Amino acid sequence: MTDSSATEAVPQHEEPHGEGLQQKLNWLRAGVLGANDGIVSTAGIVVGVAAATADRGAIGLAGAAGLVAGAVSMAAGEYVSVSTQRDSERALIAKERQELREMPEEELAELTQLYRDKGLPDELAHEVATELTKKDALKAHLDVELNLDADDLTNPWTAAFASAISFTVGALLPLLAILLLPEAIRVPLTFAAVILALALTGMISSRLGGSPTLRAVLRNIIGGALAMIITYVVGHLIGGTF
């Protein structure tokens, strides 16, 4: 009976594989959201400037400045955020390592209780905790207690680079659209291209997050459309005063 239960308990400790997949999905979702930010913010800039002037150079300069500023801002913000998270994770790992060194019996009892809380019977919980402690006590505690992997901490440089790239990719769509299209149709077609792109990013983000697709798509479209309409009106009003 114990052997059978122990066999069933093994997959529970293999959850880091699932957590690794979830972490990748989180990165992908962050990339989609970064691209979405690039689309909306750059579209707002170029449409607003296009409402004030037909000068392609001025529109391109404003859009390029917005792209660079946005990408750098996204990268810097992500670097600071992930660095703070990583510092916290390292502090937790150091604390756990110290506790295992100074009070191993209490830590074993704690790990046993954690497995009891997961639904394992007392005897099996103690057996699993003991075996995992023999194999790698720190890893066992980090996994079950803190949901961490000491060998797979978040990298702030990777996060910063990914954010900058995703923002840039998103920003290029409205920038290229408004620069390459003829003056008479540049604003409405850029508006249409942005709406289609936002519908796509909304659909992808909803699929990754498991949320209702229609709601996510409509939220994206409405937000982006409002941003472009407001900046267009502001640009038109300000442009008329010069």
Question: What pLDDT score does 22 carry?
Answer: 52
Does the structure show a pLDDT above 90 at 43?
A: yes
Does the structure show a pLDDT above 90 at 57?
A: yes
Does the structure show a pLDDT above 80 at 6?
A: no
> How does pLDDT run across 65-105, given as a tens digit for each residue?
999 999 999 999 989 988 998 888 888 888 888 888 888 88
> Higher confidence at residue 242 or residue 219?
219
Cβ–Cβ under 8 Å, residues 48 and 235? yes
pLDDT band at 15 (very low <50, low <70, confident <90, very high): very low
Question: What pLDDT score does 154 carry?
Answer: 76
Q: Most distant CA pair in the chain: distance in Å?
A: 85
For the chain, the first-to-last Cα distance in angstroms comes to 85
d(CA 179, CA 62): 11
Cβ–Cβ under 8 Å, residues 149 and 143? yes
Does the structure show a pLDDT above 70 at 4?
A: no
d(CA 242, CA 230): 19
Does the structure show a pLDDT above 60 at 224?
A: yes
Question: What pLDDT score does 37 carry?
Answer: 92
Query: Counting beta carbons within 10 angstroms of the beta carbon of residue 84, is it exposed (0 to 12), middle (13 to 18) or buried (19 or more)?
Result: exposed
User: Of 15, 16, 26, 67, which Cα lies nearest the Cα of 44?
Assistant: 67
Average the pLDDT over 25-42 and give the result.
83
> Higher confidence at residue 62 or residue 150?
62
Residue 110's Cβ-side half-sphere holds a number of Cα atoms within 13 Å equal to 16
> Higher confidence at residue 129 or residue 188?
188
d(CA 23, CA 125): 28
Does the structure show a pLDDT above 50 at 170?
A: yes
pLDDT band at 7 (very low <50, low <70, confident <90, very high): very low
pLDDT band at 241 (very low <50, low <70, confident <90, very high): low
Mean pLDDT of the chain: 83
Encoded tokens for 109: 């009892």
pLDDT band at 56 (very low <50, low <70, confident <90, very high): very high
Does the structure show a pLDDT above 90 at 150?
A: no
